[in-house]
Amino acid sequence: MNTQAIYPDSFAKMLLERAGQKYQPSNGTEGECFFEAWCRQCARDRSMREGDDFDECDDNEVCGIIANTMAHKPEDDEYPKEWIYGKDGQPCCTAFVQAGQPIPPERDPFTRDLFEELAA
């Protein structure tokens, strides 16, 4: 998992109460820091990672999370649940897959997690 900090530790500690809540960058600079720490290191989006033209990428090489965070507000149901404040108060993407690693298959929403009780 990517552990690069977006915020200074002192500020992240103030945000511990937001752990698990949706995250949205407050401005373009913060957004660029998030992209650099997460999206540009992720196997899910070739355009962000390699700088390739978005239109040259196949659908499976483009992460829809990025566009949805710009098109919706955090209070909208459509806003991605993957961008959250982590347990350490740092923003993170729970869909992150380190570049070079295989992307796991999508979870079937109709299949119950038999081990969810163990994870809690």
Rounded distance between C-alpha atoms, residue 97 and residue 47, angstroms: 15
CA–CA distance, 17 with 89 (Å, rounded to integer): 8
Stronger pLDDT, 113 or 66, i.e. the higher one: 66
Q: Strand, helix or coil at 87?
A: coil
pLDDT tens for 30-71 read 999 999 999 999 999 988 888 877 778 777 788 989 989 999
CB 86, CB 78: distance < 8 Å: no
| Residue scoring higher pLDDT (105 or 115) | 105
- What's the whole-model pTM score? 0.78
Per-residue pLDDT at 94: 95
